[in-house]
Amino acid sequence: MLADCIYGSEFDSMYGMIHKAIAEMVYEQAPEGLLDPVAEMKEGRPDLFFSPSMHSDEITLEIMSCAATTLGLPMEEFMIRFGEFWIRFADRGPLGAVMQMAGGSLAEFISGLDQIHVAVREALPSALLPKFRLVEASATELVFAYISQRTGLEPFVCGLFQGLLLRFGHDGTVSRVLREPDHEIWFRVILERSKC
């Protein structure tokens, strides 16, 4: 069911969707008239933005670093902002239906997140996708585990959940839970109050 929203959409066989989102973010947020190296890259190497085959993480990092420089942000801050942007990017266009199906509250959404990536894996079989697990949930606080084969994406995860707080109409904060090194990284989301 979720896979139907990805198959047949503009994202079918499209390993460049993350790069396309970065290009859109730079286009939206860069000061007007500033030379945009990501747009130049898109023109020179369209295969990086719409491709039937997997790209290496080095290419993604290169595009991110280019985008961070254009926006005048340190890499960590860029990753946070890109996480927030990704939620808005996924919510509009064909991926919006997939986002809708994951759940109607933040706690439900965290529990449904793996379903989104299971559908993504059907469309993009070589993708290395993370897993999420809701560890604790109360009216004011959620703790979730992030399990990934990659390292260094924690600021991106923080930004994603800041974007989700906004999406669900909450004020709040997202922070990493310090614990013994483990294959799981835990985050705590404090729900301060609803904006609705």
Only segment of 45-53, 72-80, 157-165, 177-185 that touches ligand HEM (CB under 6 A)? 157-165
142 binds ligand HEM (CB under 6 A): no
Residue type, 9: S
Distance (Å) of CA 122 to CA 114, 115, 117, 144, 185? 12, 11, 9, 25, 25
Query: Binding residue for ligand HEM (CB under 6 A) from 31, 150, 181, 182?
Result: 150
Restricted to residues 162-181, the positions that interact with ligand HEM (CB under 6 A) are 164
Q: How far is the CB of 33 from ligand HEM (least distance, A)?
A: 32
Q: Rule CB under 6 A: which of 69-128 touch ligand HEM? A: 90, 95, 98-99, 113, 116-117, 120, 124, 127-128
Q: How far apart are CA 134 and CA 193, in angstroms?
A: 20
# residues contacting ligand HEM (CB under 6 A)? 23
User: Which one among 24, 39, 130, 135 touches ligand HEM, defined by CB under 6 A?
Assistant: 130
Provide the 10 A C-beta neighbour count for residue 151.
7
| Region label for 122, one of left (φ > 0), alpha (ψ between -120 and 50) or beta (otherwise) | alpha
Q: Does 17 bind ligand HEM (CB under 6 A)?
A: yes
Q: Which two tokens stand for residue 15?
A: 């390993």
Considering beta carbons, is residue 26 or 144 the nearer one to ligand HEM?
A: 144
| Interface stretch with ligand HEM, choices 19-27, 38-46, 62-70, 146-154 (CB under 6 A) | 146-154
Q: Name the β-bridge partners of 136.
A: 143
Helices and strands in the chain: count of H runs, count of E runs = 8, 4
Cβ-closest position to ligand HEM: 148
Give the C-alpha distances (Å, rounded to integers) separating 123 from 6, 126, 149, 161: 7, 9, 19, 24
Residue numbers at the binding site for ligand HEM (CB under 6 A): 17-18, 90, 95, 98-99, 113, 116-117, 120, 124, 127-130, 148-150, 153, 156-157, 160, 164
